[in-house]
Amino acid sequence: MAINMHEYLLDVQDLHTSFFTDSGEVQAVNGVSFHLDPGEILGIVGESGSGKSVTAYSIMRILADTGRIVGGKILYKGDDLASYSEKQMQRFRGKCCSIIFQDPMTSLNPVFTIGSQMREAVVLHTEKRGEEATARVIELLELVGINEPKKRIKQYPFELSGGMRQRVMIAMALACEPDILIADEPTTALDVTIQAQILELIQELQKKLGMAVILVTHDLGVIANMCDNVVVMYGGRICERGTAREIFYHPRHEYTKGLLRSIPNVNNMKTKLVPISGTPINMLCMPKGCAFCTRCDAAMKICLTEVPEELEINEEHRAACWMNVKEAFEEGGDSE
């Protein structure tokens, strides 16, 4: 490999993460690779339980006790995170990469004021102390669009609405201007108006601070609105990736196609919805071949036994489905 190859902000290579439970090893993430450039917004969609959150937690190294990264590499600006001590990791978590969790109520401590919790984050991750730290807290609250921040810092989480709490979480995550913001379902609990405000805010901050964003969500509308590139996950693997336009208009994996068919059609509300048939996979007994094969209408023999490799559809699009291999092969055969 060339020495001067492009160095990514974040480069996840063949990540494997497992949980060792009483009923056996759960291979939650099973060979995931992707990279992120500064200022990019990458969307991760996928079925519930497909390993989206576990991928995010692996990057931050905040897995449950039973979870372990069992393979692969995560490089931050070329540095292997595995070589970081816990101390360096702590620095990484605030300064380089922050995460916003799905539920703002459980991630804020109910017995402390907004101000004291935010100050703690500022003090932990920056040199600022005393008056200066308080000033920074107020500045951050202003940045996320909370009016009268001087009053708000004296309030407790339950005194704020859901949307305001989520903004406080974002303000905390931004305390030391990280290079990467991971947002794990940041708006699932919110109504559409507040959701739009929060998404607009993330976009604005991404532009203003040049921050890269990993946005995890199962809302395809949110992905279409926000993301440059999209990764689709199924059963612990990436089954398809590409630009948002490629994924929405020319999906090449049967799971992605099924997902897009499941959403109500804006132009024809009277047609029946088409869910993906079959039951979600059981992580404890994964199919031998393609994880989606038991639910796929187009499944062939090879799908049951061999895991499909990712194939380049075009420069902006890759998919891991044997159908594409078959088509490429047949096209090749025709022309020769």
Ligand X SMILES: Nc1ncnc2c1ncn2[C@@H]1O[C@H](COP(=O)(O)OP(=O)(O)OP(=O)(O)O)[C@@H](O)[C@H]1O
Q: Give, as one character, the DSSP assignment of residue 92.
A: I
Query: Which one of the spans 49-57, 81-89, 298-306, 320-328 is the region binding ligand X (CB under 6 A)?
Result: 49-57
Positions 129 through 158 that interact with another protein (CB under 8 A): 147
Residue 215's DSSP bridge partners are 43, 183
Please state the closest distance from residue 218 (CB atom) to Mg ion, in A.
9
* Residue 15 binds to another protein (criterion: CB under 8 A): no
Residue of the chain from 21, 106, 262, 314 that contacts another protein (CB under 8 A)? 262
Give the number of residues written for the chain: 336
Residue 145's DSSP bridge partners are none
* Residue 232 binds to ligand X (criterion: CB under 6 A): no
**Judged by CB, which is closer to Mg ion: 178, or 186?**
186
* Residue 279 binds to ligand X (criterion: CB under 6 A): no
Q: How far is CA 195 from the centre of its chain?
A: 17
Nearest to residue 124, comparing CAs of 153, 90, 155, 100?
Answer: 90
- Which H/E stretch holds residue 199? helix 192-209
* Residue 216 binds to another protein (criterion: CB under 8 A): no
Place of tokens 């730290």: 133
Structure tokens at 279: 């039951």
Please state the closest distance from residue 45 (CB atom) to Mg ion, in A.
11
Nearest to residue 52, comparing CAs of 216, 292, 264?
Answer: 216
171-187: buried (b, 16+ CB within 10 Å) or exposed (e) per residue? bbbbbbbbbbbbbbbbb
* Residue 53 binds to Mg ion (criterion: CB under 5 A): yes
Nearest to residue 30, comparing CAs of 51, 44, 41, 16?
Answer: 16
CA gap 30, 235 in Å, rounded: 8
Query: Helix, strand, or coil here: 312?
Result: strand
Residue of the chain from 70, 123, 138, 194 that contacts another protein (CB under 8 A)? 194
Binding site partner of 54, from Mg ion, another protein, ligand X, none, Cβ cut-off 5-8 A by kind: ligand X
Residue of the chain from 113, 162, 209, 310 that contacts another protein (CB under 8 A)? 162
Nearest to residue 248, comparing CAs of 185, 317, 308, 324?
Answer: 317
**Judged by CB, which is closer to ligand X: 194, or 325?**
194
Please state the closest distance from residue 244 (CB atom) to another protein, in A.
4
Residue of the chain from 9, 10, 36, 54 that contacts ligand X (CB under 6 A)? 54
Note the residues at the interface with another protein (CB under 8 A).
Answer: 47-48, 147, 161-164, 188, 190-197, 199-200, 218-225, 244-245, 248-249, 258-260, 262-264, 266, 269, 272-276, 280
Site of interaction with Mg ion (CB under 5 A) = 53
Write out the residues near ligand X by the rule CB under 6 A. 19, 21, 26, 28, 46, 48-54, 64, 66-67, 191, 218, 283
